[in-house]
Amino acid sequence: MVNQSKLGNSNLIVNPIGLGTNAVGGHNIYPDLSDETGKEIIRTAIKHGINFFDTAFIYGPERSEELIGEVLKEEGRRESVVLATKGAHKFVDDKIEIDNSPAFLTETVERSLKRLQTDYIDLFYIHFPDEDTPKDEAVGALKDLKDQGKIKSIGVSNFTLDQLKEANKDGYVDVLQSEYNLFKREAEKELLPYTTQHNITFVPYFPLAAGLLAGKYTKDTTFEDGRASNPMFQGDEFLSNLEKVEQVRKIADAKGVEVAHLVLSWYLTRSSINALIPGAKTPEQVKNNLKTLDVELTPLEIVMIDEIFQ
């Protein structure tokens, strides 16, 4: 498998297996996180060759960026990593609002720079679209920051096709981050063709479908978090999904690899997907994610996995 990928039209080169860091300092997402464990996750990733880190203001909030900044400064490794963060959220009277205005995006980049203890961000995403700001104006503000050297490339996240087209009117968008996995393939209809046509890297989030595509659940598994109300994890749909995962497991077993590694490897065969950001809650999971790079899928296996989930 290719061990280097170029992000869109940028000059950024990454290991195709990066690290999503919502469990590093993401105290508002996961209970009982240890900041020291979070920092060790980052150290382990760097030690084992991961150079693409994905964080966001809302992870914590703020704490994920702070912890990553601390580690990169301690390790003296800022220049050797590609650092991506996201902004658009703001707190107004203790409520979260989404703001894509040029003034706010400029302000949120400045604040992220301080938390990350760096003078540039490699990839800055607009995390969510707001309802009012023209998307080309929002991206235009990021282009100004790019011209100033404060960011090196521009991304958008959770944008519809129409919003992406508007955002990319001047060809400034390098990366789209959006939900995509073998169970949720809507992006194949419009977003993946568009990103392929315009050389925009597509970075999928939730690639393992909240653990379902990691092959770690059985029909007796019960859920007490948000999955408990998700139809994917309920009743006949859950049982049907498990059957599909078991079909993938047969292919994985024959290759001597884990289901998760097989699934992640399959994504990297899709047009415009050349980088992944699986998360990790422990240093061991970081090292395990990297085993994806050892998987070589045959053309037949690629088709077989595709057809299981059609």
Summarised one tens digit per residue, pLDDT across range 128-175 is 999 999 999 999 999 999 999 999 999 999 999 999 999 999 999 999
Which pLDDT score is estimated for 285?
A: 96
Q: Is the pLDDT of residue 48 over 90?
A: yes
Which of 59, 125, 205, 267 is flagged as catalytic?
Answer: 59
Residues whose CB is less than 8 angstroms from the CB of residue 76 and which lie 6 or more positions away in sequence, other chains included:
none
Element (H, E) at 236: helix 235-255
Which pLDDT score is estimated for 7?
A: 98
What rounded mean pLDDT belongs to the chain?
Answer: 96
Domains in the chain (CATH in brackets) are 5-211+267-296 (3.20.20.100)
Q: Which of 191, 248, 192, 188 is nearest to 217 (CA)?
A: 248
Mean pLDDT of all residues in 55-79: 97
Q: Is the pLDDT of residue 228 over 90?
A: no
Residues whose CB is less than 8 angstroms from the CB of residue 139 and which lie 6 or more positions away in sequence, other chains included:
126, 154, 156, 167, 168, 170, 172, 173
Rounded-to-integer distance, Cα 205 and Cα 213, Å: 13
Q: Is the pLDDT of residue 251 over 70?
A: yes
**pTM (whole model) above 0.85:** yes
Mean pLDDT of all residues in 209-235: 91
Rounded to 5 degrees, what are φ and ψ at 29? -110, -45
Catalytic residue check, 59: yes
Q: Is the pLDDT of residue 238 over 80?
A: yes
Which pLDDT score is estimated for 224?
A: 84
Which pLDDT score is estimated for 93?
A: 92
Mean pLDDT of all residues in 56-85: 97
Rounded-to-integer distance, Cα 135 and Cα 163, Å: 7
Q: How far is CA 63 from CA 21, 112, 173, in A?
A: 11, 11, 27
Residue 43 carries which side chain, given as an amino acid letter? R
pLDDT band at 2 (very low <50, low <70, confident <90, very high): low
Rounded-to-integer distance, Cα 169 and Cα 158, Å: 17
Percent of the chain with pLDDT strictly greater than 90? 96
Place of tokens 């955002």: 167
pLDDT band at 1 (very low <50, low <70, confident <90, very high): low
Percent of the chain with pLDDT strictly greater than 70? 99
